[in-house]
Chain A
C-alpha cells in the first residue's frame, strides 16, 4: 500500500516509492531517495514538521515537503 510520508503512523516503516520533481534534488543530499527505507519517528501537532529516520539518522521535514513524498508501506 502506498501513502504520503506525512500520513504514516508513528514508528511505521516503509520504502520511498516516489518523490515529486522539485523536491527530489532538495532531499537527495540528505539521503532521502527512491528505494530508501524510511521510518516515521514523530509528527509535530498543528501541521508541524515530521521527523523520520533514514540510515539511522534523524531528519526533520516540513509538512509541505513530506506530502510530496510517497512511501510504500506493508499491509
Chain B
C-alpha cells in the first residue's frame, strides 16, 4: 500500500516524513522546501508501507512546478491513501485541499498539525466532531514533538473513500452540491462553524516583530542590517579559523611532514602529483612553503576543501539554517519582490539565489518553486553564471581579501543587467507573487544542527574527492604539456580580450571541476591585482562546475542549451567589459 503525504506548503509534511520513516530530509520554515517528491518506508504492524512526501500545494489547480509535481503524483497514484496534513491554526485552508482530494475519491486521513500553535492562538477544534462530519480519521498532532503521529498512522486503515453528498448531509445548514471553489468554501465555512471556536487572539511580540520586518519603512533597513551581519560573521568566522589555525597547521606541519616522509622528492613526477610540484628559483627547482603553491593532491587537494572552504561553508549553512527556521526567508522575498519583479523574476527567486551562495547544485533544484518556464530558465542561468558558491567565496576571502567586495558587486551587477536583458528577450509574462508569510518560529537546535551537518557533510563528500581529482588532472595536463599548449592557443583571447595572463588556462580547466580549486591555483600565478580580479570573475562566470552542469541538464535539454548560449555571450561581454574598465581607469 502506498501513502501520499499531502498538504499546504509549510505545514510540516517533511517533519512527518522524517518521523514516520526515520529519514533525514530538510525541513524549513518556509513554503517550498520540498520541490521534488521523496520516498521512504514506514513499518506498521509488520508491513512495509511506502510513504511519499509530496511538495506542498494549496489546491489541485497547480500554480508552480512544485505544485504540478504534487498534482501529478496524486493522479498517478490512484490506488493510494492520502495523509493530509493541515495547519490547525489555519484549518479552513487545509480543509479546502483535503476536500478536493476527497472529491477525487481518495481515502484520506487528516492530521491537525501544529496543534500547539493553534492552542497558542486560542483556536479550538473539535476533532471528534470533524471526524464525524467528514467520515474519516482526524487526529491532532504536533509534528516537531511527534505527538499523535503514530496514532494517525495506525488509523490509516480506517480511511475509506467518502462521497461529498454525505459530508454535505452531515453539515448543518448546507444543502447545495459542491462543484465550484465558492461552493467548496461555503461548505468549509459550514463545517468550520460547527467544529472550530476562535478565542480572543492576543497579538504577541512575535507578531509585532513579524510586522516590523515586513513593513518597508522598517523592513528594508532591517534587510540591510541582516545581510551586513551575515557577511561580517561569515568573514570573521572563516578568517579566524582559516588564518588563525588551519593555514598554520597545513603550511607548518602537514606540508613539511609530507615533504619529508613521501618518497621521491622534488622533480619526481609522482611526488609532484601527490605532494609538491615545486617552483623555479633562479633556475633551480625549489620546494614550496605553502599549500597554495604546492599543487599536490594531498597538499593543496586537502588544504583547499578542508583548510579554507570548510569553515566558510559551515558558518554559511549555520546562518542560513537560522534564517530559514526562524522564518525570515518569506519576508525577505516580499521585500525584494519589487526589485526582482522588474527583471522578470519573483521575490521567491531570493531563495535559490541565496541557496546558490552555498552551493549552486541544490539551488538549481530550488528554481522549481518559480512559476513559469521562463522564470525557471532565467533563474537557473543567472545563478549558474553570477552567483559564486560558498566554496569559491571562502577561498576568495583568503586569496583576494581586499578585492572580494568589488568582485561580488560586479557579479551582482551582471545578475541584474543580464536578468533585465533576458527578461526582454524571452517571451512570456511575469506572474505575480502569491504566497504565504508564515509566523516566526523559535528555531529548534536539533533541526538546525542536523541541517548544518547534512549540508556540510554533503559538501565534504563531493568537494574532497573532486578537488583531489582536479589537482591530479590539472597536474597531469601540465606535465603532458596540454595546458601550455592550450595557454598558447588561447593567448590572444586571454591577453588581448580578457587581459589576464595566458597561464590562467590551467585554473580555468580546474574550474570546470571545482571553482575553489581554480581560485587557489590562480593565487600561484604572477599577476597584478586587477588581472587577478578579472581572472576570479572569469572563473565565476565561465562554465559552472561539473556538478551544477549535471543538475542543469536534469532540468531539460532545451533549457540547458539555452543557458549555454547565454553563458558564451556573458563570458565574452562581461569578462571583456572588465578589461575595458581597467583600460579606461589606466591600470593596465
Contact = CB atoms under 8 A, between A and B. Distances in A.
Contact of B335 (A44, A47, A65): A44
Contacts of B338: 44-49
Contacts of A48: 216, 334-335, 337-338, 341
B45 interface: no
A9 B215 CA distance: 13
B59 interface: yes
A31 B437 contact: no
B334 A56 contact: no
Interface in B336-363: 337-338, 341, 347
A26 B63 contact: yes
A62 to B, nearest CB: 3
Nearest to B185: A33
A67 to B, nearest CB: 10
A44 B347 CA distance: 12
A14 B337 CA distance: 25
A42 B58 CA distance: 23
Given A29-B97, A48-B337, A56-B121, A24 B181 contact: yes
Nearest to A31: B93
B89 interface: yes
A1 interface: no
B435 interface: yes
A60 B330 CA distance: 9
A29 B436 CA distance: 11
Interface string B179-202: 001101100000000000000010
Where chain A touches its partner, the secondary structure class is mixed
B414 interface: no
B434 A27 contact: yes
A44 B334 contact: yes
B526 interface: no
Nearest to B87: A57
B2 interface: no
Contacts of A60: 330, 333-334, 337, 347, 433-437
Given A44-B216, A57-B90, A25 B59 contact: yes
B243 interface: no
A7 interface: no
A15 interface: no
Contact of B334 (A29, A34, A51, A57): A51
A29 B58 contact: yes
Interface in A16-72: 24-31, 33-34, 41-49, 51, 55-65
Contact of A61 (B59, B181, B333, B434): B434
Contacts of B435: 59-60
A22 to B, nearest CB: 11
The size bracket of the interface on B is: 35 or more
Contact of B214 (A31, A42, A57): A42
Contacts of A56: 89-90, 121, 201
B96 interface: yes
A25 B59 CA distance: 9
B440 to A, nearest CB: 11
Contacts of A41: 211, 214-215
B546 to A, nearest CB: 37
Residue from B8, B210, B434, B437 whose CB has the most chain A CB atoms within 10 Å? B434
A30 B90 CA distance: 10
B422 to A, nearest CB: 20
B59 A28 contact: yes
B104 to A, nearest CB: 15
Contact of A31 (B92, B215, B333): B92
A11 to B, nearest CB: 10
Considering residues A27, A46, A62, A65, which has the most beta carbons from chain B within 10 angstroms of its beta carbon?
A: A62
Contacts of A62: 337, 341, 431-434
Contacts of B76: none
Interface in B443-497: none
Nearest to A62: B432
| Most chain B CB within a 10 A radius of its CB, from A31, A45, A63, A65 | A31
A16 B216 CA distance: 25
A59 B8 CA distance: 13
Nearest to A65: B432
A73 B119 CA distance: 31
Interface in B1-31: 8
B437 to A, nearest CB: 4
Nearest to B93: A31
Nearest to B90: A57
B409 to A, nearest CB: 22
Nearest to A10: B215
Contacts of A29: 8, 57-59, 61, 93, 96-97
Contact of B432 (A24, A43, A51, A64): A64
Nearest to B63: A26
A28 B181 contact: yes
A49 B61 CA distance: 22
Nearest to B201: A56
7 contacts: A26-B63, A28-B96, A29-B97, A49-B433, A62-B341, A65-B432, A65-B434
Interface of A: 24-31, 33-34, 41-49, 51, 55-65
> Closest 10 CB pairs between A and B?
A62-B432, A29-B58, A48-B338, A29-B59, A58-B437, A28-B181, A64-B432, A62-B433, A42-B215, A65-B432
